[in-house]
Amino acid sequence: MEQITYGKKKIKFEIKRGRRKKTVALQIQPNSTVVVLSPYLLGKDRIKEILLKRAGWIVQKQEKIRKLIAEIPKKEFVSGESFPYIGKQYRLKVIRINHGKERLCKLMGGRFYVEISNKLSGKAISESVRRKLIEWYIEQATRKINERLKRYSKLIGKKPEKIIITKQGKRWGSCSHSGVLRFNWKIVMTPISMIDYVVVHELCHLIVKNHSEKFWNKIGSIIPDYKKKRHWLKENSFFLSELL
């Protein structure tokens, strides 16, 4: 891990190079590491110069993130807590069972229900509930994203070679050179209009690989208020990325 010195502070950073990148972008991670998204041939010394020029902003952003993390309620995965799905909050009910096979999480009657073995105790209880919730979210994300892809692929006239549902930090989706689309399963926590935006965004990358004016015009022809969607996701991505 590389680092620069700014006053008394050490700023750690890692470089991710892309052949399609034309400018440098900075991402501040929850652990305060700076990810530098850089053009492929940009030298390390030049990157350090850019970081030093932006160091004041980086330190302010790191402090803001630390405060946000401190304010996020830590989930204990117990009955009564709320979790989002398609933009709405649903309370959790944990059910202890003495016999029979444990069931996966289910959403029914406006509540999340998770059955776990009565033999579990301590941290094993919360870990089991968390695992079942994540499995459920991934299953729902797979179903919902495929559903939206089917709809918008017809409008755009492009289909992905493959889709992968995974966890991508604060990234909601990505498109590879080979036409593979990756989606963050946590997108299923957001309103359906946000899911639509992310799906359309990645599908449009099958036509236009960069974020040029042509790319945004293509998105705008399908989702006219895409700027509002981008802003909402940017404002809420940190909270959702830390939720589970």
pLDDT at 153 over 90: yes
Domain total of the chain: 3
Chain segment 79-113, per-residue pLDDT in tens: 999 999 999 999 999 999 887 666 778 999 999 99
pTM value is: 0.81
User: Final residue of a domain: which of 50, 71, 92?
Assistant: 71
pLDDT at residue 101 in the model: 66
pLDDT at residue 178 in the model: 92
pLDDT (mean) for 127-137: 95
DSSP-derived letter for residue 90 is: E
Q: Are 76 and 95 in contact (CB under 8 A)?
A: no
Higher pLDDT, 31 or 41: 41
Same domain assignment for residues 95 and 58: no
Quick one: tokens of 89? 């909050």
Chain segment 178-224, per-residue pLDDT in tens: 999 999 999 999 999 999 999 999 999 999 998 899 999 999 999 99
Q: Which of 203, 200, 205, 204 is nearest to 229 (CA)?
A: 200
Same domain assignment for residues 151 and 235: yes
Cα–Cα distances in Å, from 106 out to 75, 76, 136? Answer: 18, 18, 7
Same domain assignment for residues 155 and 209: yes
pLDDT at residue 136 in the model: 96
Same domain assignment for residues 9 and 39: yes
User: Is the C-alpha dihedral spanning 211, 222, 86, 133 positive or negative?
Assistant: negative
Kindly give the pairing relationship between strand 88-97 and strand 111-117.
parallel
User: Which range marks the domain in which residue 44 is found?
Assistant: 2-71
pLDDT at 132 over 90: yes
Residue 222 resides in a domain: yes
Same domain assignment for residues 153 and 213: yes
Q: Are 115 and 102 in contact (CB under 8 A)?
A: yes
Q: Are 204 and 198 in contact (CB under 8 A)?
A: no
Same domain assignment for residues 15 and 96: no
**Residues in a beta bridge with 27:** 35
- 37/41 Cα distance (integer angstroms): 12
Q: What percent of the chain has pLDDT over 90?
A: 72
| Ramachandran assignment for 87, one of left (phi > 0), alpha (psi -120 to 50 degrees), beta (any other) | left
Angle at CA of residue 162, ends 158 and 166, nearest 5°: 120
Mapping DSSP onto H, E and C, the string for 119-134 reads CCCCHHHHHHHHHHHH
DSSP-derived letter for residue 80 is: T
Q: Which of 203, 204, 196 is nearest to 225 (CA)?
A: 196
Residue 10 resides in a domain: yes
**Amino acid (1-letter code) at residue 138:** I
- 71/175 Cα distance (integer angstroms): 33
